[in-house]
Amino acid sequence: MSQELFKEMAQSILDGDDEVSAELAQKALDGGIDPLAAITDGFMPGVNEVGDNFACGDAFLPELVMAGEAMKAAIAVLEPAMMASGVSRQVLGKVVLATVEGDIHEIGKTLVGTMLTSSGFKVYDMGVDVPTADLIAKAEEVGADIIGLSALLTTTMIKQKEVIDEVAKRGLKVMVMVGGAPVTKEWVQRIEADGYSEDAIGAVSVAKELMGL
Amino acid sequence: MTKNIKSITNPKLKLEILTPQEVQKIHHATLHIIENVGVRFPSRRALEIWEANGATVDHESMIVKVKPQIIEEAMKNAPPAYELGARDPQQHLNMDGNHVFLGTDGCGVEIMDIETGQRRSSVLKDAGDIARIADATEEIAFHWVALSAQDKPAETRGLHEIKTVWENSTKHVQTESIYNETEARAAMEMAIAVAGSKEELRKNPVLSLMQCTAPPLGHDGGSLDAALVAAEYGVPTGFMTMSSCLTTGPATIAGTLAVGNAEVLAVSALLQLAYPGAPIFYAAAQTASDPRTGVYTGGGPEDFLFGAATNVLADFYNIPLSMGSFATGAKEPNWQAGLENSMSTFMATIAMSDMLLGAGFLHGSRIWSYAQMQMDCEIYSIMHKTLQGIVVDDETLALEAIAKVGPGGNFLTQKHTRKHMYDLFLPKYMDRRPYNVWEEKQDNADDWALERAREILSTHQPDTLDLKISAEMAKVISSLEH
C-alpha cells in the first residue's frame, strides 16, 4: 500500500499540486506511515525529478516553484507529527532569509527560499524590508547556519555589508550569502560575504558548498 | 502545418509601406519604361515570342518595347496561387499569399569548414551536407543550392548540385544555378525521375527555377531559354532582380524599384505569352551599393525597405514572391549580421513574402557558415512569434489569476501560468545565463549553433531516395559530360 502512496506523492510534486500533496501527507499519517519515510521515499523523489528536469531545461521555473510549494505543503502536514514523536527530518542547514531594510523587492528572495526548502534546507523567510537588528536576533534565536540577503538597489545593497559587519562584530558563527541584480563578484569580495549567486538555482549549490556538502 | 516545416501564416501585425496610389505610380512608371525604354532579351526564342505577340523588337540591340496592354493581358494568365512540390508529399509548400517559407541562401563559393572552422572553396559534398541539415531543420522549408560544386565540371555543375540536394532531403528544391536550355532540359528529366512522370511533375513540381535578371533592364539569354523550358514543363519559375541603387539602378529607392519591376514584369509576361497559365513568381533582392566604394552591401535600410515594398508589387501582379533577406554583408556572425538579418527578415515577413531567402551566409552570400544558418533560423523563429502579435481576450487577460495573486506575490504558482508558460518564446542562441557562467566559459551563440549543426550532421538520416532514381539522374548528367 505504501509503495502505491509513495508514487502518488511523487506525482503530486511533479504536478505541483499543493492540495493533493497535503492530502496525501495526511493520508500517510492516518495510515500510520512513518512521516520521515513519506518525505524521503514519497515526496523527495518527485522533487529530485523536477530538479533534474529543470537542470536539463525540460522543466520551466513555474513547475519547479510549484513543486517546491507542493513539497512545503506536505512538510507542513508531516512536521508536527515528527516533532511529536521526537524525530526530526534531516535538514541540510538552517537559513534565515530576507530582503534588506529599505528594499521591498521580493521575488528573487522568495524563489531562493523555495529552492532551498525543497532541497532540504530549513528556511526562515522574514520577508522584505527587514532591519539588520531583527535579522541578527532571528539568526541567534534559531541557531542559523546561513543568513541569506537580497537587495535590488545600489542604495540598499550597502545593508548587506551592515549585516556582515554586525555578524563579525558579535563574533557569530553564521555565514552570509548575498544576491540581487546589482550584486557582482567584486561587491561580494569587497563586503567579504561568504557566498553569492545570480539565480535561485545557483543559490542552492552555494548554500550546500557553505555547509561543506 | 507541413511536416517538419515551420511557416509564418495569419500574421496579426501589418505594415503599410506603399499606398495603393504609390503602387499605381510605380506600376505606370514600369509600363512606361517597358514601352519607351525597352528591356533587353538576348535570346532568339524570346525575341520570336515577343514579335509574334505584337511587341516592337530591335534584333540588333535585342531590345524589346511592349505596349502596356500586351503586358497586362498576358499577366492575367499567371496563376495567383499554386503549390511547390516535394519528395515527401507532406512537405508541399502553399504559395497562396498567406504563408512565408524560409529557404537556405544559395550559390556561395566558400565555406567555414564544419570541423576545422577554416575557410575553403566549396565542393559538391558541402551542398549535400547543408541539404541534410536543412532537411532536419523545421525553419527551413525549401532549398536553394547553398554552395557551388566547384569540384564538378562547369557545364553540369548545376545538375550535380540538385541531385545531391534531392539525395539528402525530402524538401522542395529550388535551383538558381541552371543557366541554359541544355541544362534546363536535363534538369527537367531529373525532376521527372524524382516526381515519377511528366504529368506528376506538373502536379507536384519537386523543382523550381530561379533566374537572375541582368540589371538595368536586361536579361541573360541562357537564363531566358532555361526559364522557357521550365514553363513548358509547368515547373515554377521566377526572375530575381538585384538592381542596386547607385550602380545598376537609380540612386533612389523608388527608381530602383521601377527598374527592377520592369525587368521582372516584362519577363513574367513573356513566360505567360509562351505558356499561358505557367506558374511563375516574382523574385527580388534589390539593394544599395555603398556610396563610398560602389560595393555590394548585403544589408542596410534600403534593403529593408525593398524587402517590404516588393511584396506589395508582387501582390499587385497577383503572383507569389521570393524575397532576398538574411545574407548579411558581415564577415563573421556578429552585431552587423544579427542586425541586418533581423531587420531584412522582419520587413520581408511582415509583408508576407511567400518565399524567403536565405539562411546561412556571410560576406554578402559568399561564405557559408553553419553557425550563421542555425542563428538565422532562430531569427526566423523570432519573426514567426513576433508577427503573431498580441492576443487580447478573457483568457489572456488572466483576471482570475491576477485576483488570486493580488498586490505583491508572484504568478509562478498559478494554474494560468502553467497553462500559458509554453506560449513564451524559448531561444536557443540567446545568452540568458548568469554573468559568472559566461565569464567562466566565454562561449557564445555561434559556438552553440555550430555544435547544433555538427550534431544534426552526425545523426540525421534523411529518407533515402530510391537508388534507381539516383542512377537515372546520374545517367542524365553523364550523357552531358561525354
Contacts of B411 in chain A (CB under 8 A): 62
B255 class by beta-carbon count within 10 Å (0-12 exposed, 13-18 middle, 19+ buried):
middle
Edge-to-edge order in the sheet of strand A94-99: A122-125, A94-99, A146-150, A175-179, A195-196
The answer to whether the beta carbons of residues B160 and B477 sit under 8 Å apart is: yes
Q: Give residue A1's pLDDT.
A: 61
Read off the C-alpha cell for A159: 545593508
Within this chain, do residues A124 and A144 fall inside the same structural domain, yes or no?
A: yes
Chain B residues touching residue A184 (CB < 8 angstroms): 435
The total of structural domains in chain A comes to 2
Question: Do residues A69 and A156 share a domain?
Answer: no
C-alpha cell at A32: 500510520
The shortest C-alpha distance from B413 to chain A (Å) reads: 5
pLDDT for the residue numbered A83? 85
Chain B, nearest residue to A199 by Cα = B434
Q: How far is B410 from chain A (nearest CA, A)?
A: 7
Do residues A75 and A107 share a domain? no
ipTM score? 0.81
Give a yes or no: residue A34 inside a domain.
yes
Is the domain of A70 the same as that of A102? no
Q: Are residues A75 and A108 in the same domain?
A: no
Q: The CATH number of the domain where A66 resides is what?
A: 1.10.1240.10
pLDDT confidence band for B433 (50 / 70 / 90): confident
A181 and A201 together in one domain: yes
pLDDT grade, residue B156 (50/70/90)? very high
| pLDDT at B188 (0 to 100) | 98
Residue B121, pLDDT above cutoff 90 = yes
Q: Would you list which residues of chain B are within 8 Å, Cβ to Cβ, of chain A?
A: 408-414, 417-418, 421, 434-436
For residue B437, the model assigns a pLDDT of 87
Q: DSSP strand E in B153-243: where?
A: 172-175, 207-212, 237-241
Nearest CA in chain A to B418: A62
pLDDT in tens, A38-88: 999 999 999 989 988 887 888 899 998 899 899 989 999 998 988 888 877
- For residues A42 and A107, state if they share a domain: no
- Mean pLDDT lowest for which of A91-100, A193-202, B449-458? A193-202
- The last residue of one of the domains, among A51, A84, A117, is A84
CA distance A179 to A96: 14
A203 and A109: one domain? yes
Domain that holds residue A58: 2-84
Q: In chain B, which residue's Cα lies nearest the Cα of A63?
A: B418
Report if residue A115 sits inside a domain: yes
What ranges make up the beta strands (E) of B46-89?
56-58, 63-65, 82-84
Domain B8-17+75-388+468-478 has CATH 3.60.20.10: no
Helix (H) or strand (E) holding B343: helix B335-350
Using an 8 Å Cβ cutoff, are B234 and B256 in contact? no
How many inter-chain contacts (A to B, CB under 8 Å) are there?
32
Query: Over the stretch B166-219, which tens digit does the pLDDT of each residue have?
Result: 999 999 999 999 999 999 999 999 999 999 999 999 999 999 999 999 999 999
pLDDT score of A175 = 97
Nearest CA in chain B to A67: B413
Confidence at residue A56, expressed as pLDDT on a 0 to 100 scale: 81
Q: Note whether A79 and A110 are same-domain residues.
A: no
Confidence at residue A129, expressed as pLDDT on a 0 to 100 scale: 95
- Note the pLDDT tens digit of each residue in A152-172: 999 999 999 999 999 999 999
CATH number assigned to the domain comprising residue A153 = 3.40.50.280
A96 bridge partner residues: A124, A147
Query: b vs e for B427-455, b when ≥16 Cβ sit within 10 Å of the residue's Cβ?
Result: eebeeeeeeeeeeeeeeebbebbbebbee
- Name chain B contacts of A110, Cβ cutoff 8 Å: 410
Is residue B1 scored above 60 in pLDDT?
A: no
Q: Do A62 and B418 touch (CB under 8 A)?
A: yes
* Amino acid sitting at position B35: E
d(CA A86, nearest CA chain B) in Å:
33
Non-local (6+) Cβ contacts of A139 within 8 A are A96, A147, A167, A172, A174
Domain boundary among A42, A60, A84: A84
Task: Answer positive or negative: Cα dihedral of B369, B370, B376, B378.
Answer: negative
Residues with Cβ within 8 Å of B36's Cβ and at least 6 positions away in sequence, in order, are B65
Q: How many CB atoms lie within 10 A of CB B359?
A: 31
Predicted confidence (pLDDT) per residue in B58-105, tens digit? 999 999 999 999 999 999 999 999 999 999 999 999 999 999 999 999
Q: Which pLDDT does position A63 carry in this prediction?
A: 92
Tell me the pLDDT of chain B averaged across its residues. Answer: 96
The predicted model gives B1-11 an average pLDDT of 89
User: Domain for residue A75, yes or no?
Assistant: yes
Structural domain includes residue A197: yes
pLDDT tens digits for range B321-369? 999 999 999 999 999 999 999 999 999 999 999 999 989 999 999 999 9
Find chain B residues with C-beta within 8 A of A66's C-beta: 412-413, 418
B420 CB neighbours in chain A (<8 A) are none
Q: Please, is B72 exposed, middle or buried when counting C-beta atoms within 10 Å of its C-beta (0-12, 13-18, 19+)?
A: middle
CA pair distance B275, A126, nearest whole angstrom: 80
Tens-digit pLDDT profile for residues A131-157: 999 999 999 999 999 999 999 999 999
Where residue B408 falls among pLDDT bands split at 50, 70, 90? confident
Question: How much is the pLDDT for A84?
Answer: 86
CA B131 and chain centroid, separation:
15
User: Which residue in B412, B417, B437 has the most chain A C-beta atoms within 10 A of its own C-beta, making it the best mutation to test that interface?
Assistant: B412
- Whether residue A89 is contained in a domain is answered as no
* Residue ranges per structural domain of chain B: 8-17+75-388+468-478, 394-423
Strand partners, B94: B83
Of B413, B434, B435, the CB nearest to A62: B413
